[in-house]
Structure 1
Amino acid sequence: MEKKSFYSNHRSKLQDIWLIPAIIVTIFIGKSIAEKGIATGFIFLILPFAVGYFVMIFFRPRIGIIGFLIYCFVMPYIGKHVSGLQVGLGIEALLFTTLFAVIFYQTNRFRKRHLNNDLVWMSIAWMILTFLQIGNPERPSILGWVYEMRSSTLYWVLTVVLSFQLLNKRTDINLFLNIIIILSLIGALYGMKQLYLGVDAAEHQWLEEGGKKTHILFGKLRIFSYYFDAAQFGASQGHLAIVCIILATGPYSLLKKAWYGIAGLLIFYGMLISGTRGALFAVVGGGLMFLILIKQTEILIVGAIVGFGFIGILKYTTIGNGNAEIVRLRSSLDPKDASLQVRLMNQELLRNYLSTKPFGTGVGTMGQWGTKFNADKYISQIPPDSLYVKIWGMYGIIGFIMWFGIMLYITGKSAGIIWLTRDPILKNQLIALCGGSTGILLCSYGNEVLNTMPTSAIVYMSWVLIWLSPRWDIPAPKTEPVVPKNPKRLNEYDYSA
């Protein structure tokens, strides 16, 4: 048998022509790994699986929205460990791929009427206002608008629309809770690893490149786990801590109560080691909402006493001052705190500057993108330090009133839906979701957390699950009509009973 050789009989011609692109690709991969590190090789390793996953989304769009939720947790970790990778684009890739799958594949299975509700229309109204901000008289940079619009509007609209289409089963609320609790618990454990064993090489480099300015205070590391930063880590941990604590009070088995309770305590500890003072208000706000929604006066009174007692201990005593985390948490209740005074001064500057700008200075003029793309604007030099302040600066008082009104409406209607829920297990889950979301809304006054992943995805999907919950509730009991003893005297009986 003639042996097959690399070259054909004509030495100038390769027998297997496909080897040429294979060799070129191999050289390119090798060069990339040599220049950018082994993490780049990991990207090439998972690339075929990623392509396969995106193809699967067109056959089962549900895995797209679930993958999006998981990716929002791990995205910051990937960004820190793979230098130069635009991890934020992965969110758009997942959301738009899932949207196209919903539109073009098995369209008869998805109902447009499910989108005809106030939650969707409010998100669209906010998107319209954001697009109108392109014409802001201050003429902000269009690139700044594009980058800011993604987190402030685009993710909101797409997440709500896709969740209404794809999270349409009773078991989806259980799946959602399991995913966010497990990933948050892993985040807390990873944060403990950073605290007791130290950060890895990539995280150390991130700190040296500027992160240590805000993450090393008085020689002590503020833990950020695999989140974007310590502020987001702390707020998210506070959010999920109160969710777990509320679930632990539900009508479940002892084993399940223990799972929620232990997870809640560990995640609460994750909040403490983050050094994020504002995260306390996520727990306080969520706990207060829980006490209101259970509609039990005795528990409300006891819970209020315990809650105010805890706050009183932090504010008026020195108990726990030997612990740095408690000391920093205590400073969040000090009205003379230097950080708070600086924020109040910045807000006074904004109040004077925005007095003649009812529509603000435009989307993308404050915060990270304001500094990068609108450095010539006076407002870009003022740190917002708050989602409320940032929206006020970018959209003006008119936009802020609209946004705050939407938030209040969503919170109020969520409470109304929960009050009418009859299924005790479902009601407990909804209270946990509503309490957590309300806590984040309150927490966003001190930090810009609602517009940052994974908190954004969790809150938006929580809203949708609350809106969908009436279809999963126990049917209302039917009342039997009163049958008259004498049919001839119908007017004597009330059939509305």
Structure 2
Amino acid sequence: MELHGNITASLSIPRIAVGLLIAGGVTVIAYAFTHYGLPAGAAVSMLPIGLCALWFSLRNPAVSMLGMLVLNYFIMYLGREFLHGVPVGLILDGAIFFNVAMVLMQALVQRVEWRRAATGVTLASAIWMIYCVLELFNPQSISPKGWTMAIRSLAFYFFLIVVLTQLTMARYKYLKAMLVVWSVLTLVAVLKALVQKYVGFNAAENYWLFVEGGSVTHIIYTGVRYFSVYSDAANFGAGMGLAMVVFSISALYYENRWMKIYLLAVAAAACYGMLISGTRSALAVPFAGYAVFVVLSRNFRMVMAGVILIIGAFIFLNFTSIGQGNSIIRRARSAFNTQDASFQVRLENQDRIRALMKDKPFGAGLGHGGGKAKVFAPNAPLSQIPTDSWFVMIWVETGIVGLLLHIGILLYILGRGAFLVAFRLRNNQLRGLTAALISGISGVVVMSYGNEVLGQIPTGAIIYMSMAFIFLSPRFDKELEEAELEKHAVPGKNLLALNPRSRTALPSTLAKE
């Protein structure tokens, strides 16, 4: 009886402590609401959620990276709706450095396998970051403020996201988890675009359109261009085109019928979102992406089918007038019109930039390209000319040397990924998912000639994370191969005694979902 009483008493102490903690928390929240108003009360109310997120992140930093992916997706929406005048990039800064802190804190209590990040993409991103840091000393740069504004999105995000992804998500299940989270975010973005189209814009969106001038490029003679939770329609179109390519290809490599249907539905929704964005250059994403996948597939029937479909779509849009009465088809068809007035203006702007860049092999300095440079260099000639292109912007800010380096890094990453898919990866599903990421990134790279989308929020972070997964794919392949060996192991046999070459004789089944 005495023992039972002691146990009961010991159990009741934690219950009392939890009860007191809850009561105290409710009291503090109520006090904050009544004495300091709604913002303070809401902030205090979020503390328990923040503590839970901290606890889960410390236990598994991959959860924190997925959280960053979600937050990154809504940064531009939060800025438009609630944070007027606040540099919204600081939100992503905070999320990235939170993940850095989680990795460092984990390293204090257990060994972190730093060599996971010892890959080619880490080296490539480090080289690019060093080049961009050295741009601070560019004699052509008018103000260091431009460098401060541009270095984060242009170089730091690339390096840090690549490294963090490789350190925290070096298991195959995290690649699949990222795809699932991204697919849900895509559906949310399409749903928001549908609300804009069929219900209307909310107060914050109307303010951006009609007070801050967004209507000039988004409500035009061809109709309304919808932008969802993205910064603008071009960014939205690029994100949806990327999702369309990645999820439609990924669907081919899942055994589970419902997963196939789900991913194809997400791809179809993303296609619709891309079309209602009214971004003509976004068509380059599926055209280039599927063309790359056709080459990577090395399947004669798929190659022939892909070539026929791509050529058929090109002929339909470029050489016929079928469906011209439909505004979406009409916009898509105009993407192939090289006599288009806006296209001609872009060519003229590039000629003007070319004349100004003759004596600037290292560029005008980070942040000194296009309209954004007017803040600190209002009279600079280059600030008067829109860059209208990611690669033109890189050219203006880092020079021909930086442009060639940047293009070389992108080609290396895509080329290395293609090599892995074609010659190294053995698991069929992993090969397909990796090819999907390579194809999607290739499409956005091609589109970036016409729009500044490659490093934009949220597309940039998704692409950098995808690049890291491409370079993690050999590790995933080894993980899946070892799981396959264990599955087919004969009791009493030593798996380590197997010759690595003999492993290829084992059944090569798809990884199970």
Q: TM-score range by the shorter chain?
A: 0.7 to 0.9
Question: For 2:162, what is the secondary structure of its paired residue?
Answer: helix
1:142 aligns with 2:144: yes
Could you tell me how far 1:191 is from its partner in structure 2?
Answer: 0.7
Distance 1:48 1:201, change over 3 A: farther
The 8 Å contact of residues 170 and 476 in structure 2, kept in 1 or not, is answered as no
3-state secondary structure, aligned to 1:334: coil
Selected match of 1:338 from 337, 341, 348 = 341
Q: 1:250 to 1:327 in 2, by over 3 A?
A: same
Deviation of 1:25 after TM superposition, in Å, equals 7.9
Q: Which residue of 2 aligns with 1:442?
A: 446
Please say which of residues 65-74 and 212-221 is displaced more in the overlay. 212-221
SS in 2 for 1:130: helix
Query: In the alignment, does 2:301 pair up with 1:287?
Result: no
Give the whole-Å Cα distance in 2 for the aligned partners of 1:382 and 1:465.
37
User: How far is 1:197 from its partner?
Assistant: 1.2
In the other structure, the counterpart of 2:73 is 73
**Aligned to 2:449, what secondary structure does the other structure show?**
coil
Paired AA for residue 452 in structure 2:
E
Q: Paired residue for 1:382? A: 385
2:89 maps to a residue whose letter is G
The Cα shift of 1:41 comes to 7.2
Greater mean deviation of Cα atoms: 97-106 or 194-203: 97-106
Residues 57 and 97, structure 1, Cα contact 8 Å, conserved in 2 = no
CA distance in 1, matches of 2:29, 2:49: 21
Q: Which runs of 5+ in 1 are unaligned?
A: 1-18, 34-39, 481-497
Counterparts of 1:232 and 1:187, CA distance in 2:
12
Give 3-state SS (helix, strand or coil) of 1:105's partner: helix
Instruction: Give, in angstroms, the shift of residue 199 of structure 1.
Output: 1.3
Within-5 A mapping of 1:101-120: 101-107=102-108, 108-120=110-122
Against the structure 1 CA distance between its residues 296 and 228, is the aligned structure 2 distance closer, same or farther, given a 3 Å change threshold?
A: same
> In 1, distance between residues paired with 2:332 and 2:257?
32
Distance 1:445 1:190 in 2: 27
d(CA) in 1 for partners of 2:37, 2:74: 24
Once the two structures are TM-superposed, the CA of residue 165 in structure 1 deviates from its matched residue by 0.5
User: Match of 2:490?
Assistant: none
> Which letter maps to 1:91?
L
Structure 1 match to 2:180 = 178
CA contact (8 A) 2:371 2:386 kept: no
Q: Which residue of 2 aligns with 1:61?
A: 61
**1:239 aligned partner:** 242
The alignment's TM-score, normalised by the length of structure 2, stands at 0.84
- TM superposition shift of 1:43: 5.7
* TM-aligned CA deviation for residue 373 of structure 1: 2.4
Match of 1:458 in 2: 462
How many Å apart are 1:103 and its aligned residue?
Answer: 1.7
Post-superposition offset of 1:55: 6.1
Give the C-alpha shift of residue 125 in structure 1.
Answer: 0.8
Q: Give the structure 2 partner of residue 37 of structure 1.
A: none
**Residues 304 and 143 from structure 1, CA distance in 2 versus in 1: closer, same or farther, beyond 3 angstroms?**
same
1:29 pairs with one of 37, 45, 48: 37
Q: Which runs of 5+ in 2 are unaligned?
A: 1-26, 483-498, 503-513
Matched, 1:87 2:88: yes
Q: Deviations over 1:247-291 (max 9, x none)?
A: 222242332222122211111001000001111001111101110
Q: Read off the aligned partner of 1:450 and give its amino acid letter.
A: L
Alignment of 1:1-400 (within 5 A): 26-29=34-37, 45-46=45-46, 49-50=49-50, 53-54=53-54, 56-84=56-84, 85-107=86-108, 108-209=110-211, 210-218=213-221, 220-400=223-403
Whether the aligned pair in 2 keeps the contact of 1:234 and 1:275 (CA below 8 Å) is yes
Matched to 1:402, the amino acid is: L
- Output the amino acid matched with 2:390: L
Q: Is the 8 A contact 1:284 1:439 kept in 2?
A: yes
CA distance in 1 between partners of 2:28 and 2:66 (Å)? 39
Q: Which residue type is aligned with residue 268 of structure 1? A: C
Cα 1:22–1:198 change in 2 (3 A) is: closer
Over 3 Å counting, the alpha-carbon distance change for 1:245 and 1:52 in structure 2 is closer
Verify the 8 A CA contact 2:170 2:472 in the aligned structure 1.
Answer: yes
RMSD: 2.3
Aligned to 1:9: none
Letter in 1 for 2:395: W
Structure 2 distance, partners of 1:462, 1:20, is 43
Q: Distance in 2 between matches of 1:248 and 1:270?
A: 19
Amino acid aligned to 1:171 = K
Q: Indicate the SS of the match to 2:357.
A: helix
Shift of 1:377: 1.6
1:86 deviates by: 3.7
Give the aligned residue type for 1:82. F
Instruction: Verify the 8 A CA contact 2:365 2:398 in the aligned structure 1.
Output: yes
- Partner AA of 1:197 in structure 2: V
Shift of 1:364: 0.5
Residue 422, structure 1, aligned to residue 430, structure 2: no
CA pair 479-76 structure 1, distance change in 2 beyond 3 A = closer
SS of corresponding position for 1:426: helix
Aligned-partner SS, 2:217: helix
Decide whether the 8 Å contact of 2:371 with 2:384 is kept in 1: no
The residue identity in structure 2 corresponding to 1:361 is A
1 CA distance for matches of 2:391 and 2:315? 27
d(CA) in 1 for partners of 2:460, 2:282: 15
> Mean Cα displacement is larger for which, 63-72 or 53-62?
53-62
Distance in 2, Cα, partners of 1:178 & 1:475: 23
Paired AA for residue 29 in structure 1: G
**Which residue is 2:413 aligned to?**
410
Contact 1:147 1:364 in 2 (8 A): yes
Amino acid in the other structure paired with 2:319: Y
What is the CA-CA distance between 1:64 and the residue it aligns to? 2.1
1:100 partner letter: A
SS at match of 2:74: helix
Deviation readout 1:19-71 (Å, 9 max, x if unpaired): 999978855435xx6xxxxxx97566536534653465344322221111111
Code of the residue aligned with 2:184 in structure 1: it is: I
Q: 1:355 to 1:179 in 2, by over 3 A?
A: same
CA pair 55-140 structure 1, distance change in 2 beyond 3 A: farther
